[in-house]
């Protein structure tokens, strides 16, 4: 999957602004490229975050979610994988210190996948 550099920058900013709480949002794509964050009402906590998925209008552009880990560990937990399975096929975790290098991509089963950053 591909992601625009501008979307990566938005993800980094959102994670930094929410720290020390976790950040969560959905990923919107066009033509197979993640271009934007789809922001829904959410709850941000120290070791958790949750989205109001029930408020998402039918939208085929949503391909997955992004959330932050306030630690340097970007490995998905069992709870993360449970959310992955509900929100699409592409999932990102950004770990502290919230840079493009600390973003990891996973499929709905929690297996690592490649993410290509484009302009």
pLDDT in tens, 33-50: 999 998 886 777 677 677
Q: CA torsion sign, 97 to 98 to 99 to 104? A: positive
Query: Nearest-CA neighbor of 68 among 54, 48, 52?
Result: 48
Residue 60 neighbours by CB under 8 Å, 6+ apart:
none
pLDDT tens digit string along 46-86?
A: 776 777 777 777 777 899 999 999 999 999 999 999 989 88
pLDDT top residue among 21 and 48 = 21
Q: What is the DSSP letter of 32?
A: T
pLDDT at 41: 66
> What SS3 class is residue 27?
strand
pLDDT at 96: 97
pTM: 0.90
């Amino acid at each position: 999957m591909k992601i625009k550099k501008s979307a990566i920058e938005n993800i980094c900013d959102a994670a930094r602004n929410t720290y020390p709480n976790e950040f969560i949002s959905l990923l919107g794509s066009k033509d197979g490229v993640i271009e934007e964050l789809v922001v829904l009402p959410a709850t941000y906590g120290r070791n958790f975050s949750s989205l109001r998925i029930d408020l998402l209008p039918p939208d085929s552009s949503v391909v997955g979610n992004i959330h932050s880990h306030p630690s340097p560990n970007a490995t998905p937990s069992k709870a993360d994988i449970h959310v992955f399975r509900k929100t699409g096929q592409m999932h990102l975790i950004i770990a502290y210190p919230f840079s493009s290098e600390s973003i990891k991509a996973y499929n709905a089963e929690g297996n690592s996948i490649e993410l290509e950053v484009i302009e």
